Structure 1
Amino acid sequence: MHFCHWSHDLKGLNFKERWASKAKTYDDLLILAVLGTVCGLFSGLLMAVFYAVVYLPARYLLGTDFDAFEMLPVEWRVGLLVGACFVLALVFTLLPKPLHKVGVPFVVERLNHHNGNLPVWNAVVQFFTAAIGLVGGLSIGKEGPAVHLGATLGSVLAQKAKLPRYGVETLLACGVAGAISAVFQTPLAGVLFVFEVIFLEYQQRYVLPVLLSSVTATLVSHNIIGPLDIISIDAVSSLVLSLDLFVACSALVVFILVLSVVFLQAQKQLWRFSGLSVWWRFALVALASCVAAVYLPESLGSGFLPLSHLLSGDLIVYSLFLLIVVKTVLTAFTIGMGIPGGMIGPTFIIGGLAGVQVGLVFGEGMTDVTLFALLGMAAMMATCFQAPLTALIAIIEMTHSSATIVPALFVIVLSCLLIRVFFHQESVFVERLHFMGMMTNMSPFQRFLKHHTIKPVAESVLVLPTFTPIERVKDLASNMIDYVVYEKDSQWRLVRRLAVLDALQTLDAGPQPWLIVLEEGVAMDVSRAADSTPVSVIEEPASLEDMLSWFQKTGLSEVIVPLPNSSFRLVSRHRLDQFLLKSD
């Protein structure tokens, strides 16, 4: 109810009109800062609700920490998994196809191809389907759904405030950063995630509003959910950069590289079965998950509990390597088959387990094992999503320590470099969009057009009635506009102001055919007084990209655009081309 009230108030403010009247082409930092803070507040609250929906039932069922599915009886594990897959299959069967699109790839698609307009109902589907999968113990994460929910929140807020394209992108970025920050309580990593994973480039002009959103969401999450101490790293207090350390790091890079390739290639192969019935796909996921639930339950869920227990010595598995392989394949299989969940958390877990394995092989104490767990987490996340800085900062913020920076940079950079050079592998989200035949980034020219309204290329026009009083026509001599428009027979006509004045001067030679007498006095029939051209009238485009697309599609050279303040503007292809050449 409060959100609807906020939305109504924002809609009434009409920031787009204010933008056009007082701001530069795409810059009003104060408005964006305020809205970014509001977006961060709502993102934090939304993630707290998501946590409650997912983890309160889990805590009630398990009676212990999050994701401890291995502590449940076998029949409970199998029942939860089968029940979750059945409900998800039923939901996606009943829902129309457009509502099936959820997750990070959908956010990037809407950002690049639909002006950042994210439908609310897709977010509702994402919320509940992800919650069902997480409660059921499927090997998925909560971060992808968080991104979708935060992005939708920012998109809706921008639409209600009627922001131009640049404002929409900024608030969408604020929503994503706020959601990631609330989930991990890592404000800087949330900001970097937006640039490296969603926008695929660094945008300096987004930074301040996005930072405000990220910090606000973190504070909300910290106060409602409580502090999230992912892993204790008291053992990593001092670090000696020895040759042996970097030999072990090189081995970790190779291990992470193999796991990343398996994780990504398995999903790419599974995408080919997206046309298969949802019942068959989710039944196969249920079968594979149930086998894991019986023989290796530590591979279920999305939390860090198994990794934390392993580091503390409380968890002993028969084969750590087997757990790593099963977790990697099971997560790739679950996501690849279409279960609506995230991948960031699972990649952290897989990388952390891989780091523990390498630490046990090369290390002699708990310090080395903890260190390599952190390095593995950062490297796996960075390699799968091509987000090196996000992974590095996330590890530093989650562990509250900078002791691992140098070796972490070594494994992150080397892993990202090798997978791109030798396997030509992009981020898993980019690969997914490429598989769907969609572009994932825009050229600088496209982005330039998207970030400008029609204001720089629009000129004022004066609207006259078809029968204009002579006195009003004489007033045109003191007006500086170039064109006037009038409507006749439901068709708008464009005429030059000087042509109307030239016609007025012909009165000196005697009465003219365009001269008529009305009850109010003598008037000019503008349609007969001067040559005119028909002109189209369209709603104000969201950006210059839309305006250029309209010109290219229609082949026309001029158009009239009515503005919210009841004025009219003339936009011509000639002025648009001049503006682009001047800006270039």
Structure 2
Amino acid sequence: MKWRGSQNQSQGLLLLSVLAILSGLVSGLVMISLVSLVHFASSFIIPGHPENYEALSVIERLVIPSTACLLIGVFWCLLPSKVQKVGIPYVVERLNYHQGNLPLANALAQFIGAFIGLVGGLSIGKEGPAAHIGATFGSQLGQKFRLSHANVEVLLACGVTGAIAAAFQTPLAAVLFTFEVIFIRYSMTQVLPVLLSAVTATVLSQWILGRFEWFDVVAMDVPNFDLSLSIVCLVLVGLIVILSSLFFQIQKWLWRFAGLSIWLRFSCVALITAIVGSVFPQVLGGGYDTINLVFSGQVIATSLILIAFLKMFLTATSIGLGIPGGMIGPTFSIGGLMGLQVSVWFDTGLPIPIETALFVLLGMASMMAACFQAPLAALLAMLEMTHTSEVIFPAMFVIVLSCLITKLIFRQDSVFVERLNYLGLSSVLNPIERQLRSHTIEPVADPAISVSNVAKFEQIKDFASNMIDYVYVCKGGQWYEISVSELLTKMSLLEYGPQPWLKPLGGELGLCTDEMLISPIIEVEEMESLIKLLSIFKETSANKLLINLKKSDQLCVVTRQRLDEFFLKETSRNVVD
């Protein structure tokens, strides 16, 4: 059934809500499945918990990451080049340039590649891959139900949100992350379905994985924000800004080697990860275990700031050289380690006690905000992790300063945006493109009447009574336009006797149109939105296009003037609203 254009507003919202819940369920299940499979596979390799790389021998820490890179390299070489594109930047690219159409093959490649890398201890995250897969399912749902491009966008957002919400069990932060990082804009029409997806994925995650306890923050005692605490926060901000800038600059420098062979790039990742991981096993995997070790009372001999910098270096190198993993989880870990280091530095040097959990979370939030330019998402993540409003002011302080310094002084945008800019792609559509992408061709299309090469007289008379100006005829595979007024003029000549254009048609005479063809008209297939229609007008310099509606086996015609008038009308309406 074709829902687009046929449903009223309430029916459309109901359908979208149901599909949003499905997107949340699937993206949440993908996240949970990825975590569960990684834990299951890791149990055969790593003793204890999945990130207990400290328990492995030096040889094992050399072999395991190298083997993972080898397996990913073999798998990646078997894939066509177009299937090798994965990750959140690819999701944004498909959203802006391909009507939100995300192929299933890329999502499957993302899942397998991330699984191998995570089991092998590579410094990558699982949240980005899950977001890509969830977005793909939302996109496929929208296309299956033939929704408009605007609604496909909503379901794509639902998939991303569900994956992030299931990963951290922070539904509101996941919603804001999607709007700030993927869409880089807010739309009230998207909020309800996206919230539904976030809640669904969070409930599913809590039901299957249990409720996450972020470093026992329920009992956190937040000190008053005075001069001493502000100085500590400024030190944290300075370190986070340096880390986030290096995190981007290393990736940017490595992007230039994207043309090298997969074997060479992945071999470099294997070598660097094996060497660093053999000496500092704390940098392998997600990195949260190091923070948890400190909270459990165990002493880490290595400097936490060194581990944070090495973790940042390994993650930036792995992602920059094309390993199919995510960045969200590692940035949380890096920021948390830096916050933990700052709390250790100042724990005994101030008249007030330093709350370790607070600074871990401040580091996580500020690193996320600086790397992805998502201040509101980072702030909401803090609130949802701590369940207390007392953290708002210190969180706002470090998050706002980190974002401002990164953007204004270091001229650095979100890592995802910078990646798209490097590829020559835009992360944000201009208002005209955005407006055209949100509409299908129905509002600007008129029915097109086709006739055979020999038209019946009764049919021509009907054209006149129905006020039809032009009809269309196909000759030699090319469509031509014919003026109805000329057909009527030809018919009026019959009162003077037989005419040379009379031809037999099914036992009677008809009007042969061969000599009345005005001009050829370009025939195109039906498209999902007006943006594609505009691009065809620009490419062909045509003033009129014939659209083949294959689903209904009908023709319609669209003029450039009608398209321009519709856009101006919609723009004026939005300004008034």
Per the TM superposition, whether the score is higher than 0.5 is yes
Q: Provide the residue aligned with 2:215 in structure 1.
A: 231
Choose the corresponding residue for 1:537, options 505, 523, 528: 523
Q: Residues 121-169 of structure 1, C-alpha deviation per residue, up to 9 Å, x if partnerless?
A: 2222211111111111111111121122112222222222223322222
> Does structure 1 residue 390 correspond to structure 2 residue 377?
yes
- The one-letter code of the counterpart of 1:534 is P
- Report the 3-state secondary structure (helix = DSSP H, G, I; strand = E; otherwise coil) of the residue aligned with 1:495: strand
The TM-score, its normalising length taken from structure 1, stands at 0.90
d(CA) in 2 for partners of 1:455 and 1:128? 41
Distance 1:28 1:322, change over 3 A: same
- The one-letter code of the counterpart of 1:559 is L
What is the CA-CA distance between 1:259 and the residue it aligns to? Answer: 1.4
Q: Residues 272-301 of structure 1, C-alpha deviation per residue, up to 9 Å, x if partnerless?
A: 233334333333323332333333211211
Alignment of 1:441-460 (within 5 A): 441-460=428-447
Choose the corresponding residue for 1:559, options 525, 528, 545: 545
Q: Provide the residue aligned with 1:328 in structure 2.
A: 312
- Report the 3-state secondary structure (helix = DSSP H, G, I; strand = E; otherwise coil) of the residue aligned with 2:448: strand
**Which ranges of structure 1 fall in alignment gaps of 5 or more residues?**
1-12
Q: Provide the residue aligned with 1:347 in structure 2.
A: 331
Alignment of 1:49-448 (within 5 A): 49-364=33-348, 368-448=355-435
Count of residue pairs the alignment pairs up: 567
Higher mean C-alpha deviation, range 272-281 or range 202-211: 272-281
Higher mean C-alpha deviation, range 495-504 or range 424-433: 495-504
d(CA) in 2 for partners of 1:150 and 1:212? 14
Q: Provide the residue aligned with 1:19 in structure 2.
A: 4
d(CA) in 1 for partners of 2:153 and 2:255? 29
d(CA) in 2 for partners of 1:524 and 1:477? 15
Higher mean C-alpha deviation, range 409-418 or range 84-93: 84-93
What is the CA-CA distance between 1:43 and the residue it aligns to? Answer: 1.4
What is the CA-CA distance between 1:441 and the residue it aligns to? Answer: 1.7
The TM-score, its normalising length taken from structure 2, stands at 0.92
d(CA) in 1 for partners of 2:372 and 2:445? 42
d(CA) in 1 for partners of 2:354 and 2:417? 36
What is the CA-CA distance between 1:183 and the residue it aligns to? Answer: 1.7
What is the CA-CA distance between 1:426 and the residue it aligns to? Answer: 1.0
Contact 1:66 1:305 in 2 (8 A): no
d(CA) in 2 for partners of 1:376 and 1:37? 33
- The one-letter code of the counterpart of 2:85 is K
- Report the 3-state secondary structure (helix = DSSP H, G, I; strand = E; otherwise coil) of the residue aligned with 1:234: helix
d(CA) in 2 for partners of 1:450 and 1:352? 40
- Report the 3-state secondary structure (helix = DSSP H, G, I; strand = E; otherwise coil) of the residue aligned with 1:538: strand
- The one-letter code of the counterpart of 1:34 is V
Higher mean C-alpha deviation, range 205-214 or range 508-517: 508-517
Higher mean C-alpha deviation, range 448-457 or range 355-364: 355-364
Q: Provide the residue aligned with 2:465 in structure 1.
A: 478
Contact 1:235 1:370 in 2 (8 A): no
Contact 2:134 2:159 in 1 (8 A): yes
d(CA) in 1 for partners of 2:387 and 2:125? 22
Distance 1:566 1:274, change over 3 A: closer
Q: Residues 515-563 of structure 1, C-alpha deviation per residue, up to 9 Å, x if partnerless?
A: 44545544333455x5643322211122211111111211222121122
What is the CA-CA distance between 1:508 and the residue it aligns to? Answer: 4.5
Distance 1:383 1:65, change over 3 A: same
What is the CA-CA distance between 1:416 and the residue it aligns to? Answer: 0.4
Contact 1:461 1:481 in 2 (8 A): no
Higher mean C-alpha deviation, range 348-357 or range 488-497: 488-497
Choose the corresponding residue for 2:536, options 550, 556, 560: 550
Contact 2:92 2:427 in 1 (8 A): yes
What is the CA-CA distance between 1:509 and the residue it aligns to? Answer: 4.7
- The one-letter code of the counterpart of 2:462 is D
Contact 1:235 1:366 in 2 (8 A): no
Higher mean C-alpha deviation, range 498-507 or range 302-311: 498-507
What is the CA-CA distance between 1:583 and the residue it aligns to? Answer: 3.3
Contact 1:350 1:380 in 2 (8 A): yes
Q: Residues 196-236 of structure 1, C-alpha deviation per residue, up to 9 Å, x if partnerless?
A: 11112222222222222222222222223332333221342
- The one-letter code of the counterpart of 2:416 is F
d(CA) in 1 for partners of 2:219 and 2:506? 95
- Report the 3-state secondary structure (helix = DSSP H, G, I; strand = E; otherwise coil) of the residue aligned with 2:218: coil
What is the CA-CA distance between 1:23 and the residue it aligns to? Answer: 5.5
- The one-letter code of the counterpart of 2:247 is F
d(CA) in 2 for partners of 1:517 and 1:304? 84
Higher mean C-alpha deviation, range 386-395 or range 268-277: 268-277
d(CA) in 2 for partners of 1:73 and 1:235? 37
Distance 1:94 1:461, change over 3 A: closer
Choose the corresponding residue for 1:497, options 473, 484, 493: 484
Distance 1:478 1:43, change over 3 A: same
Distance 1:518 1:119, change over 3 A: closer
Q: Provide the residue aligned with 1:3 in structure 2.
A: none
d(CA) in 2 for partners of 1:325 and 1:49? 30
d(CA) in 2 for partners of 1:573 and 1:280? 50
What is the CA-CA distance between 1:80 and the residue it aligns to? Answer: 1.4
Q: Residues 384-435 of structure 1, C-alpha deviation per residue, up to 9 Å, x if partnerless?
A: 1111111111222233333311110110011100111111011111222222
Higher mean C-alpha deviation, range 113-122 or range 255-264: 113-122
d(CA) in 2 for partners of 1:175 and 1:572? 37
d(CA) in 2 for partners of 1:283 and 1:478? 75
Identity of aligned residues (%): 47
Distance 1:234 1:44, change over 3 A: closer
Contact 2:545 2:559 in 1 (8 A): yes
- Report the 3-state secondary structure (helix = DSSP H, G, I; strand = E; otherwise coil) of the residue aligned with 1:20: coil
- Report the 3-state secondary structure (helix = DSSP H, G, I; strand = E; otherwise coil) of the residue aligned with 2:472: strand
Q: Residues 478-519 of structure 1, C-alpha deviation per residue, up to 9 Å, x if partnerless?
A: 314433223344332322334434444444455444444545
d(CA) in 1 for partners of 2:541 and 2:439? 22
- Report the 3-state secondary structure (helix = DSSP H, G, I; strand = E; otherwise coil) of the residue aligned with 1:28: helix
**Which ranges of structure 2 fall in alignment gaps of 5 or more residues?**
572-577
Contact 1:267 1:332 in 2 (8 A): yes
Contact 1:458 1:570 in 2 (8 A): yes
- Report the 3-state secondary structure (helix = DSSP H, G, I; strand = E; otherwise coil) of the residue aligned with 1:403: helix
d(CA) in 1 for partners of 2:383 and 2:301? 28
What is the CA-CA distance between 1:373 and the residue it aligns to? Answer: 1.0
What is the CA-CA distance between 1:340 and the residue it aligns to? Answer: 1.7
d(CA) in 1 for partners of 2:279 and 2:479? 75
- Report the 3-state secondary structure (helix = DSSP H, G, I; strand = E; otherwise coil) of the residue aligned with 2:556: strand
- Report the 3-state secondary structure (helix = DSSP H, G, I; strand = E; otherwise coil) of the residue aligned with 2:473: strand
- Report the 3-state secondary structure (helix = DSSP H, G, I; strand = E; otherwise coil) of the residue aligned with 2:547: strand
- RMSD across aligned C-alpha pairs, in angstroms? 2.4
What is the CA-CA distance between 1:325 and the residue it aligns to? Answer: 2.1
Contact 1:483 1:497 in 2 (8 A): yes
- Report the 3-state secondary structure (helix = DSSP H, G, I; strand = E; otherwise coil) of the residue aligned with 1:437: coil
- The one-letter code of the counterpart of 1:476 is F
- Report the 3-state secondary structure (helix = DSSP H, G, I; strand = E; otherwise coil) of the residue aligned with 1:273: coil
What is the CA-CA distance between 1:339 and the residue it aligns to? Answer: 1.9
What is the CA-CA distance between 1:82 and the residue it aligns to? Answer: 1.9
